[in-house]
Amino acid sequence: MDKPTRDFHYPLRWRLMDGAERLADILWPRRMARWTGWLMLTPALLLVGLLVLGLLWIADGSLRVLDTATFLPSESWSAENYTKALTTPVYGRIAWRSVSATALTVVLTLLLAFPYAYAMVRTERAWVRKALLVVLFLPFFIGQVVRAYGWLIILGNAGIVNEGLGLLGVPPQRLLFNFWAVVFGLVQYMLPFAVLMLAPALTAIPAEIETAAGSLGANWRRTLWHVVLPMAKPGLIGAGLVVATLTLTDFAMPAMLGGGSQDFVANAIYDQFFRTADQGLGAALALLLVAAGSVLAAVVFAAFGAGTLAMGARK
């Protein structure tokens, strides 16, 4: 004869879930179900609303000229700050430096990120994949400023690199406080972001497609150029856009590795707000930077689609 089964005890976590469901029914009845999507969007809409309010406040400040006699903004609106930002040669040089460094950083970062992401996705050994992931995520535990200080120690006149060159009889080289030092630091900082954007795109490409290309006579170069890269285009577009926008607005690397001689637009904005107290000009530069980033994103989306940043992107 079978032994009697034990009484079933309703788990506590199930009771808590039932209570939460009943509470949700009270606070948000079923007749309100059609508005659930908007409820979920409420936090995002609030954040966007705050961003819009902040931009409107900045726009108002950008139209007020600083009175150098009283150091107070003018009461009336004027486009003088925008005229100064667009016609002053120093800001033109800063803008050109920012754009050229951004373009170089995007190209170099993608060139380095693609093979790393490909190796991480295609490797069959689990321990290799885990090691690559650990190496990829380690920089996220170190702040950008700390990393910049690290490069100051490594690349300085008395740094590790120059000491190694000295052992070879090479005199100390000026490796810091120039354009290429800033680009180097930006590439090192942006590389993990690009790899994280590329990895999903490469994962979505079945390995069998590459095998099929090889069985049809294509070598690895032709397979890479005609199969893998076209199929990974959405990931490349998304990674390039993310790297470009982050680089264009970067502050720490130009300030620290550039030594004050390789400022980007973000550094010029900081100087106007906190050094010269010309908040109107700083606000104008900030809005021009926002406009430049928005135009860049719009051009990329119009030309290539939204990449990995949206569903239904153009192939």
CATH of the domain at 252: 1.10.3720.10
| Position 150 pLDDT exceeds 50 | yes
Same domain membership, residue 101 and residue 47: no
Residue ranges making up the domain that contains 4: 1-62
Residue 204 φ then ψ, to 5°: -75, -10
Domain count, the chain: 2
pLDDT by residue (tens digit) across 6-45? 666 778 888 888 888 788 777 777 777 777 777 778 888 8
CB atoms within 10 A of CB 181: 22
Q: What is the mean pLDDT of residues 216-224?
A: 85
Residues 136 and 243 both lie in one domain: yes
pLDDT of 229-259, one tens digit each?
A: 989 988 899 899 999 999 999 999 999 999 8
Residue 91 lies in a domain: yes
43 lies in the same domain as 86: no
208 and 110 in a common domain? yes
User: For 42-84, how does the pLDDT look when each residue is reduced to its tens digit (9 = 90+)?
Assistant: 888 899 999 999 999 999 999 999 887 777 888 889 999 999 9
Q: Are residues 205 and 272 in the same domain?
A: yes
Coil/strand/helix, residue 73: strand
Are both 131 and 194 inside the same structural domain? yes
What pLDDT sits at residue 137? 87
Q: Tell me the two tokens of residue 223.
A: 């397979």
Residues 200-216, mean pLDDT to the nearest whole number: 87
Asked whether residue 71 is domain-assigned, the answer is no
Average pLDDT value for residue range 84-89: 93
pLDDT band at 307 (very low <50, low <70, confident <90, very high): low
pLDDT digits (tens, 9 = 90+) for 260-287: 888 999 999 999 998 888 899 999 999 9
Is residue 113 domain-resident?
yes
| CA dihedral of 169, 175, 180, 186, whole degrees rounded to 10 | 120
| Domain co-membership, 44 together with 103 | no
Rounded CA separation 258/251 (Å): 10
Whether 8 and 115 share a structural domain: no
Give the three-class secondary structure for 6: coil
Confidence band of 5 (pLDDT split at 50, 70, 90): low
280, 73 Cβ separation under 8 angstroms: yes
How much is the pLDDT for 73? 86
pLDDT of residue 28: 72
Whether 261 and 235 share a structural domain? yes
